[in-house]
């Protein structure tokens, strides 16, 4: 009993309840959109205490090896944290919170399974960013970011401290998610004190996502209504909780099983920015099952925690998200950590506010730290100023003392500074400005017109092609016209009507590899030799001049590089064609199917290509105009999976080339 009392006192200073209890400036569990201010520091501790076995598991019972056991009625569950947060800017706070837990699980297996234990939880590193653009009047808004570092002890405790700790496919660790976890959300504050009503209403919601598929995504929420009854006391009423957002393994989606609290309480504001708050947490499950043991066990039977403690002890029990009743408290202190400014001249005004930081000692200064002048000196300065105010050298109606352009030519209209009127503020007076309506900020030339570096008639600020070649016709954006959108400007385009979507050469025309006058995109015989007459599809009219037809007559004996007799007539036609067109060069390519080894097929393809070249040389074709290449099975044109496909892949290709 003494141990329980001692730990109860500890929990009042090192304690932690549900989401949001991180030392905020209002209530216990609620989060507001207010930030501390630059270099303001808030630190302290908060937490809760519950006594009773139902704060550990449903009905205060658990099972080990198929046998049921019960925790003692006087057992306790304590949760606590120590926190610190710092305002790094007026609208950004950063901080961290370290949870500390104690389970007084006094039962047969409590000590053996490490259920009866004191340990730590997952470190929460958090940031709050005020959103000035989303704040007006009584309303303000802030972005919240959390990173939970898995520092908690595994295989320890009984009650899972957060809903996202539940592992639907394995053992649950009550004190840690055992994974890095990320959270992001928004906080809203409606401060009616600004319009004379002593009420503050806070709303907050976050999405928490562990880095594991075995743990569930969780929605964390809180709201609180605060009544500023006096300057030193604020009663409040809060509703907060956590809700798993999906089914996960053995656990189904059930918001009523997850943490849900109603918390009435009071927060006291003491001198030196010390705050103390306490309240009573009522679990929503209290209104579901009350103190009925069997009902409590029944409502938790679909959410059984599977736990493995030390020494391999395995237990299971009904999931208790929060105790039925618990007391919560918070103690925090806020202070200014900003460095104090020096007063180097000792005039009582800090240097960061002193506009005359080197004033001699003993001199009387004003609120800005500058010497207070005597009345006679001030009178003399005013008399001189009055005299200067009457002098107007250029007779433009503006005294010299105020005239920024004291030598304005006679007869010109001037503005209130004495300078010639410049309606568009481009630095060129209206009487010289040929473009008096130039948009603000646009560089202009001496005539007041926007600069046009390439002289294409489109001002530089509108010109997307500021270095256009002189004399080229351009569009409204300053770029050379390209009517067929082929990337070649019209003044260079020899084929200005190229169909859309086709690549062109440097002249703007469709490529024609074999130079037969039929573009490659429609040429069905792209390897025609020079000078051969072709039809509209680019194929030779005389089939004996068509390489794609002639190559079909080249045949070899099976598995050999020896030409068949039927091939000689075709090869003779090819040789005659090459001798008739001396400027033509021909690459003979050998291909095989994938039957047999790649090495053998490669050698066979090379030998067959060389056999064709050797025959053509015998027929009078110069060897310098021929070359043989073997590709083996590496370039199939049909599926090698069937006989017809393999027959197509065993082939000779005749491809012209240029030297």
C-alpha distance from residue 58 to each of 63, 255, 279, 415 (Å): 12, 16, 24, 84
Highest average pLDDT, of 223-237, 506-520, 531-545, 645-659, comes from: 223-237
Tokens of 285: 């499950």
Confidence at 4, pLDDT banded by 50, 70, 90: very low
pLDDT in tens, 37-74: 999 999 999 999 999 888 899 989 999 999 999 999 88
Residue 564, both tokens: 């068949």
Instruction: Report the percent of the chain where pLDDT is more than 70.
Output: 85
The arithmetic mean of pLDDT across residues 310-339, rounded, is 91
pLDDT of 280 > 90? The answer is yes
Q: What share of the chain is helix, strand, coil (3-state, %, to 5)?
A: 15, 30, 55
Could you tell me the CATH superfamily of domain 543-656? OmpA-like domain (3.30.1330.60)
- DSSP letter for 292, please: -
Full DSSP string of 106-141: -STTTTTTT-SEEEE--EEEEEEEE-GGG-BTTEEE
Per residue in 199-214, pLDDT tens?
A: 999 999 999 999 987 7
**Burial, 42: exposed, middle or buried (Cβ in 10 Å; 0-12, 13-18, 19+)?**
buried
Residue 559: the pLDDT is: 83
Cα–Cα distance for residue pair 115/96, rounded to 1 Å: 27
Distance CA 24, CA 27 (A): 7
Same fold yes or no, 2-331 and 543-656 = no
Confidence of residue 461 (pLDDT cuts 50, 70, 90): confident
Confidence class for position 543, pLDDT limits 50, 70, 90: confident
- Reported as a pLDDT band with limits 50, 70 and 90, residue 232 is very high
Per this entry, what is the length of the chain? 659
Domain edges within the chain = 2-331, 425-480, 485-511, 543-656
Which CATH fold would you assign to the domain 2-331? Answer: Porin (2.40.160)
Q: Which residues contact 140 (CB under 8 A, 6 or more apart)?
A: 33, 34, 130, 131, 134, 188, 189, 191
- At 482-537, the pLDDT tens digits run 666 666 776 676 677 667 667 766 666 767 666 666 776 666 787 777 877 877 77
Calpha distance 393→395 (Å, rounded): 6
Our measurement of the distance from residue 190's CA atom to the centroid of its chain's CA atoms, rounded to an integer in Å, reads: 30
The pLDDT of residue 260: 94
Residue 17 has pLDDT above 50, yes or no: no
């Amino acid at each position: 009993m003494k141990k329980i009392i001692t730990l109860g006192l500890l929990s009042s200073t090192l304690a932690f309840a549900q989401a949001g209890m991180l030392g905020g400036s209002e209530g216990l569990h609620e989060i507001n959109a207010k930030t501390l201010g630059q270099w303001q520091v808030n630190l302290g501790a908060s937490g809760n205490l519950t006594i009773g076995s139902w704060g550990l598991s449903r009905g205060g019972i658990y099972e080990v090896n198929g046998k049921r056991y019960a925790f003692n009625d006087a057992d306790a569950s304590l949760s606590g944290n120590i926190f610190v947060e710092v305002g790094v800017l007026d609208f950004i706070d950063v901080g961290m919170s370290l949870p500390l837990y104690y389970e007084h699980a006094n039962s047969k297996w409590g000590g053996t399974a490490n259920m009866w234990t004191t340990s730590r939880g997952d470190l929460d590193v958090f940031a709050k960013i005020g959103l000035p653009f989303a704040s007006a009047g009584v309303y303000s808004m802030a972005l919240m970011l959390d990173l939970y570092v898995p520092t908690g002890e595994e295989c320890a405790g009984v009650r899972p401290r957060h809903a996202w700790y539940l592992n639907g496919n394995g053992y649950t660790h009550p004190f840690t998610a055992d994974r890095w976890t990320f959270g992001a959300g928004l906080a809203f504050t409606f401060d009616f004190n600004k319009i004379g009503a002593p009420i503050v209403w806070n709303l907050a919601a976050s999405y928490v996502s562990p880095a594991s598929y075995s743990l569930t995504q969780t929605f964390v929420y809180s709201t609180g209504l605060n009544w500023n009854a006096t300057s030193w006391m604020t009663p409040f009423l809060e509703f907060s909780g956590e809700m798993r957002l999906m089914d996960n393994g053995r656990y189904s989606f059930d918001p009523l099983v997850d943490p849900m609290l109603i918390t009435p309480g009071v927060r006291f504001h003491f001198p030196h920015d010390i705050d103390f708050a306490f309240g009573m947490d009522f679990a929503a499950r209290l209104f579901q099952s009350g103190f009925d043991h069997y009902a409590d066990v029944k409502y938790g039977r679909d959410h059984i925690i599977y736990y493995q403690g030390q020494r391999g002890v395995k237990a299971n029990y009904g999931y208790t998200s929060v105790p039925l009743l618990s007391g919560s408290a918070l103690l925090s202190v806020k202070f200014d950590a900003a460095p104090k400014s020096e007063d180097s001249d000792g005039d009582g005004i800090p240097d960061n506010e002193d506009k005359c930081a080197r004033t001699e000692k003993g001199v009387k200064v004003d609120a800005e730290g500058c010497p207070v002048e005597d009345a006679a000196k001030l009178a003399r300065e005013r008399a001189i100023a009055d005299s200067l105010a009457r002098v107007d050298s250029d007779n433009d109606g503006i005294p010299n003392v105020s005239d920024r352009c004291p030598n304005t030519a006679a007869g010109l209209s001037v503005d209130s500074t004495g300078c010639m009127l410049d309606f568009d503020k481009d630095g060129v007076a209206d009487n010289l400005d040929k473009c008096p309506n130039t948009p603000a900020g646009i560089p202009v030339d001496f005539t007041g017109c926007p600069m046009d570096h390439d002289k294409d008639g489109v001002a530089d600020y509108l010109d997307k092609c500021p270095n256009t070649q002189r004399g080229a016709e351009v569009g409204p954006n300053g770029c050379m016209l390209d009517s067929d959108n082929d990337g070649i400007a019209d003044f260079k385009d020899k084929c200005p009507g190229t169909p859309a979507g086709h690549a062109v050469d440097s002249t703007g025309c469709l490529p024609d590899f074999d130079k037969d006058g039929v573009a490659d995109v429609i040429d069905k015989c792209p390897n025609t030799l020079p000078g051969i007459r072709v039809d509209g599809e680019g194929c030779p009219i005389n089939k004996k001049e068509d390489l794609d037809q002639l190559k079909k007559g080249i045949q070899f004996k099976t598995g050999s590089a020896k030409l068949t007799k039927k091939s000689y007539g075709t090869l003779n036609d090819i040789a005659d064609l090459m001798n008739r067109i001396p400027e033509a060069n021909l690459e003979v390519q050998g291909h095989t199917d994938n039957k047999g080894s790649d090495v053998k097929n490669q050698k066979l393809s090379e030998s067959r290509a060389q056999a064709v070249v050797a025959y053509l040389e015998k027929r009078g074709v110069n060897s310098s105009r021929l070359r043989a290449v073997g590709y083996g099975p590496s370039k199939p044109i049909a599926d090698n999976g069937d006989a017809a496909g393999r027959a197509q892949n065993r082939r000779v290709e005749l491809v012209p080339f240029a030297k």
